Structure 1
Amino acid sequence: MKYSISKSGKVIEGRVVLPSSKSISNRVQIINALSNSFEPIKNLSDCDDSKAMQNILFSNTNTFDVGHAGTTMRFLTAYLSKIVGEWTLTGSHRMKERPIGVLVDALNSIGAQISYLEKDGYPPLRIFGSNITGKEVELQGDTSSQYISALLLIAPTLENGLTIKLKGKIVSRSYIEMTLKIMEEFGVKSEFKGQEIFVANQAYKCIPYTVEGDWSGASYWWSFMALAEEGKLYLDGLKKHSFQGDSGLVPVFEKLGVKTQLSKRGMFIEKVSTDCKKLKFDFNQMPDLAQTFAVCACLKNIPFHFTGLETLKIKETDRIFALITELAKLGYVLSEPAQGELAWNGERKQEDENVVIDTYHDHRMALAFAPVAMLRANVVIDTPDVVNKSYPNFWAQLKELGFTVEVK
C-alpha cells in the first residue's frame, strides 16, 4: 500500500494530541513486571512496540515474537534472563539482522544463560532464566543505549547489584539518564559518575504512573511548521522539563524558523522568519531526530553537517543509507563524510520522476518525509502503516489538519 499526501495551501494550524512516549512506556512496563506491581500505568502508549511488550509480559507461553520492536527485544532479553524458565525470543527478518551480542555477552558475564538459535550475535535467542548475581560489566560507551538501559532496569533486582563501566565516548547519554530518572521515580537510587554507573540491590516501589507525551513524535510537527509559509499549532501532552532527550529539539528548530511557547499541557509552535545559512549539530543525545532535521533542512535549502550518528546504522534500517537514497530522489546529494556523520553541501541534481519514498520498514522514514507535502504536491510514501510502531494516529491527524491522504 502507498499513500499520496497533499495539501491545499502552505498554512498549517490547529491542535494535535501527541502519542504517549514509547520509550517511557516500555521502561515502566518492565519495572512493573519486575516489582510484580498491579498499579496502573496511565496514558500507556498504544503503538505496536508497547503493545508487543504488554502482550508478551501477560502471555502464558514461553516463545515470544517481538516483530520489529527493537526496544522490546533488548529489554526482554535482560528481563527474561532472570525469570526462571526456558524462553525463546525472536522477531522479524530485520530484527534478526540487528546485533544483540553486546547485551548477551554482558548478561552471560554476570550469570545469565543465553544462546543463539541461528546466527551468533543475533536473534533469535534461547534464554534459560535463573537467579543472576550481578556485580560488574564493561561495555563500549558508543554501543546502543538500549543495551545499557536493559541492564540498568534489572540491576536493582540482582543480588550484588550492578556496576556498568563504559569505555570511550558515551553516545545517547540522555536515554541512559532517562532510564535512571524513571527508576528513581520508582524508588531506586543510582550513581552515574564519569564512565561508571552503579545500582545497588534494592526494591522498586509499586506506584501508579502517568506516561508523558512523546517528543520524538512531536518533532514531525515542528518540521511541518518549519516548511509552512505561516501557521500555529498547539501540541498537547508535552512536558517542558522532560526526561526525554529529544526535548532538546526546541533551540535547533528555532534556527529553522519555529518559535516555541510553553503552556500548562503542551507547546504552542509558530512559524517565524530565519536567516540560517548552515546547520551544524551533534545528534549524540537525540539520534532519532536526525531524519527529521535532514529532510527539513534540505527542503529549506539549508546545507548541514550532522555528527553523533554512530548508532543509526543498526536501527530499524541503516538510516544513513536510507536518507542518502531517498533524498537523492528529490534531487539532494548527501554524503557520509565519516562514520557517524551525514552532510549536505547544497549540491542538487535532477529529481526523479514519480517519486515514491521507500520506508525500509522504518516508522521514522515515513514520519520524517511526510512534511515534504508542505512544498510538493502528491508526495507518495510506500508502506505508510509503519508509523504504527510509534505513532498509530499520525495519518488521521494529518487529515484533521486539512491534508489529503489517499491510498494510491
Structure 2
Amino acid sequence: MQYTLAHTITSGNIKVQLPSSKSISNRLLLLNALSYSPYEIKNLSDSDDTKAMLGVLNSNSTTFDVGAAGTSMRFLTAFLSKIVGEWVITGSSRMKERPIKTLVDALNQLGGKIEYIEKEGYPPLRIFGSNLEGGDLELPGNVSSQYISALLMIAPTIENGLRLTLTGEIISKPYLEMTLALMKDFGVESHWKGNTITVPEGNYQPKVVTAESDWSAASYWYEIAALNPELNINLQGLKKISLQGDSNVQKMFEHLGVKTKFSQKGTVLSNTGSKTRKFKYNFINEPDLAQTLAVTCCLLNIPFHFTGLQTLKIKETDRISALINELKKLGFVLNSNHVDDLSWEGDKCDHSTTEPIVIDTYKDHRMAMAFAPAAFQFSNLVIDDPMVITKSYPNYWQDIAMAGIQGLEK
C-alpha cells in the first residue's frame, strides 16, 4: 500500500494527544511481570512493539513471534532465560538480521543456556530457562542500550545480583538512566559509579504506574512546527521533567525556530522564525531523533553535521543509508562515513519531476513519520508502506491531518 500526500498550509491552534512512550511501556511491562504485580499499567502504549511484549507475557505458549519489535526481542530474551522451561523466540525477516550475540553471550556467561536456531549471532533463539548466577560482567558500552537494560532489569532476580562494567564509550545513556529510574520505582536501588553499574539481589515491589507520553513522537510535531509557521501546536501528555532522553528535542529545535512553552494545558510549540545557519549535534544519547532532524534541516536549507549515529545501522533498517537514499529523491545530496556520522553541506541534485516521488520506508516507522511533513514542500510525495507507523504511533496519519497533511490510499 502507498499513501499519496495531499497538503494544505493550515493556520491556527491544534491539540494533539500523543501516544504513550513504548520505551517506558515495555520496561514497565517487564518490571510488572518481575514484581508479580496485580496492577494494570495506566496509559500503556498501543504500539506494535508493546502489543508484542504484552502478547508474550500473557501467553501460555512456549514459542513466541515478536515480529519487528526489537525492544521486545531483547527484553524477553533476558526474561525467558531465567524462567524455567524451554522457549523459542523469533521475529520478522529483518529481526533475523539484527544481531543479538552480545546479549546472548552475556546471559550464557551468567549460567543461561541459549542456542541459535538458524544463523549464529541472530534470532531465532532456543532458550532453556534456568536459575542464573550473577556477579561480575563486562560489556562494551557502545552496544545497543536495550541489551544492557535487559540485563539490568533481571539483575535483582538472579543470584548475587549483578556488577556490570561498561567498557569504552557509553552510548544512549539516557535509556539506561530511564531503566534504573523505573527499577527504583519498583523498589530496587542501584549504584552507578564511573563505568560500573551495581544492582544487588532483591525483590521488586508491585506498584501502580502510569506511562508517560512519547517525546520521540513529539519530534514529528516539532518538525511540522518548523515547516509551518502559521500553526500553534498543543501536545498533550508530555512531562517537562522526563525520563526520556528524547525530551532534548525541545532544545534542538530552538536552533530551528521552534519555541516550547509548558503549562497545565499542555506543551505548546510555536515558530519564532529564528534559525541557525548550520546545525551540529552529537546524537549519542538521542539516536532516534536523527531522522527527524535530518529531514527538517534539509527542508529548511540548513546545512548540518551529525555524529554519534553508530547504532543507526542496526535499527529497523540501516538508517544512515536510508536517509541518504530518500533525501536524494528530494534533491539533497548527503555524505557519511557510514559508521557514525551524516552531513549535508547544501549540495543539491536535480529532482524536478512531475512524477510521484516515492519515499521508501524500509519497514521503518521513523522513516515514514520523518518524511511525511515534506509534503508541505513537495506536492507529488508518496509514502510507501505507510502503516509501518503502527510500530510506535498508530494514530499518526489521523493526527497529522489536523496539520493539513492528508494521506490518500493509492
* TM exceeding 0.5: yes
**Residue in 1 aligned with 2:342?**
342
| Distance in 2 (alpha carbons) for counterparts of 1:249 and 1:12 | 23
In the TM superposition, residue 230 of structure 1 has moved relative to its aligned partner by 2.1
**Residue in 2 aligned with 1:64?**
64
**Residue in 1 aligned with 2:141?**
141
- Residues 1:376 and 2:378 aligned together: yes
Gapped regions of structure 1 (runs ≥ 5): none
| Distance in 2 (alpha carbons) for counterparts of 1:402 and 1:287 | 28
**Residue in 2 aligned with 1:152?**
152
**Residue in 2 aligned with 1:163?**
163
| Distance in 2 (alpha carbons) for counterparts of 1:122 and 1:136 | 25
**SS, match of residue 297 in structure 2:** helix
| Distance in 1 (alpha carbons) for counterparts of 2:346 and 2:210 | 44
Could you state the TM-score of these two structures normalised by the residue count of structure 1? 0.98
In the TM superposition, residue 378 of structure 1 has moved relative to its aligned partner by 3.8
| Distance in 2 (alpha carbons) for counterparts of 1:120 and 1:11 | 54
In the TM superposition, residue 405 of structure 1 has moved relative to its aligned partner by 1.8
Asked if structure 2 preserves the Cα contact closer than 8 Å seen for 1:12 and 1:228, the reply is no
Which residue identity is paired with 2:62? Answer: N
Asked if structure 2 preserves the Cα contact closer than 8 Å seen for 1:10 and 1:374, the reply is no
**Residue in 2 aligned with 1:5?**
5
Taking a change above 3 Å as real, the CA distance of residues 299 and 12 of structure 1, as seen in their structure-2 partners, is: farther
**SS, match of residue 136 in structure 1:** strand
| Distance in 1 (alpha carbons) for counterparts of 2:145 and 2:266 | 27
Which residue identity is paired with 1:103? Answer: L
Question: Could you list the runs of 4 or more consecutive aligned residues of structure 1 that deviate by over 4 angstroms after TM superposition?
Answer: none
- Alignment: residue pair count: 408
Residues 237-316 of structure 1: pairs in structure 2 closer than 5 A: 237-264=237-264, 266-316=266-316
Which residue identity is paired with 2:371? Answer: F
| Distance in 2 (alpha carbons) for counterparts of 1:178 and 1:373 | 35
**Residue in 2 aligned with 1:393?**
395
In the TM superposition, residue 404 of structure 1 has moved relative to its aligned partner by 2.2
**Residue in 2 aligned with 1:359?**
361
| Distance in 1 (alpha carbons) for counterparts of 2:237 and 2:226 | 20
In the TM superposition, residue 231 of structure 1 has moved relative to its aligned partner by 1.6
In the TM superposition, residue 81 of structure 1 has moved relative to its aligned partner by 0.1
Asked if structure 2 preserves the Cα contact closer than 8 Å seen for 1:13 and 1:401, the reply is no
CA-atom RMSD, angstroms?
A: 1.1
| Distance in 2 (alpha carbons) for counterparts of 1:267 and 1:344 | 31
Per-residue CA deviation, residues 62-83 of structure 1 (Å, 9 max, x unaligned), is 0000000000000000000000
**Residue in 2 aligned with 1:188?**
188
**Residue in 2 aligned with 1:321?**
321
In the TM superposition, residue 251 of structure 1 has moved relative to its aligned partner by 1.2
In the TM superposition, residue 12 of structure 1 has moved relative to its aligned partner by 6.3
Could you state the TM-score of these two structures normalised by the residue count of structure 2? 0.98
In the TM superposition, residue 401 of structure 1 has moved relative to its aligned partner by 3.6
**Residue in 1 aligned with 2:49?**
49
In the TM superposition, residue 338 of structure 1 has moved relative to its aligned partner by 5.9
**Of 383-392 and 224-233, the range deviating more from structure 2:** 224-233
**Residue in 2 aligned with 1:73?**
73
| Distance in 2 (alpha carbons) for counterparts of 1:90 and 1:337 | 32
Asked if structure 1 preserves the Cα contact closer than 8 Å seen for 2:229 and 2:273, the reply is no
